[in-house]
Chain A
Amino acid sequence: AAGVIQSPRHLIKEKRETATLKCYPIPRHDTVYWYQQGPGQDPQFLISFYEKMQSDKGSIPDRFSAQQFSDYHSELNMSSLELGDSALYFCASSLSGSNQPQHFGDGTRLSIL
């Protein structure tokens, strides 16, 4: 079965640079979520989209923005990168509605030098 695809898997950037992470949800899934997992921490919710509209927002810095496109893929744009942004970034997708499990991609490991 098709899973959530994230690209790139690894990304190395320097401070103050920008980065774009991409997420391709499971076919027919209309809701996309982004999470950030720091070293030794549990995943923290950043932002979600349903039918191309932002549906919820968590602890996402103002330097980050995201959108969902007409084909339901999503991109997380990160600017003015800081050392503290080094983390695993997971994308998840689900069907809309109550009690729908989120299915996760394998993440993008972002390292800031």
Chain B
Amino acid sequence: DQQVKQNSPSLSVQEGRISILNCDYTNSMFDYFLWYKKYPAEGPTFLISISSIKDKNEDGRFTVFLNKSAKHLSLHIVPSQPGDSAVYFCAASATSFQKLVFGTGTRLLVSP
């Protein structure tokens, strides 16, 4: 039972354009959401997070949007850069259990 889903396995974007990565979840207990970037042979790198009391959080080129009623969040990267090419994982946790539940990942390719 995949509680966190990333329905797009891959995404290709041109440099300078916006990248939008999407994530859906099913468990209403989730109240903290994170995005990680992962390069091959490295661990996931924390990018940005959002708690359920907010609907938007911004950090430089990265913005995360949360729509609780739709159980949907998205990561916007603008402008996209070739160095952003990696696998992006959405993850969720709940106050009652702080373990992370991961989505299956989206491979982003930003071409020059």
Contact = CB atoms under 8 A, between A and B. Distances in A.
B8 to A, nearest CB: 14
Interface residues of A, number: 27
Given A42-B89, A98-B32, A101-B34, A90 B44 contact: yes
B64 to A, nearest CB: 12
Give chain B's interface secondary structure class: strand
Contact of B103 (A35, A42, A90, A105): A42
Interface of B: 32, 34, 36, 41-46, 49, 51, 89, 95, 97-105
Interface in A23-64: 31, 33, 35, 41-45, 48, 55-56, 58
6 tightest A-B CB contacts, nearest first: A104-B43, A42-B102, A45-B99, A106-B43, A104-B44, A101-B46
A102 B89 CA distance: 13
A56 B97 contact: yes
Contact of A33 (B36, B89, B99): B99
Given A98-B95, A100-B98, 15 more contacts: A41-B104, A42-B103, A43-B44, A43-B89, A43-B100, A43-B102, A45-B99, A48-B99, A102-B34, A102-B46, A102-B100, A104-B45, A105-B43, A106-B42, A107-B43
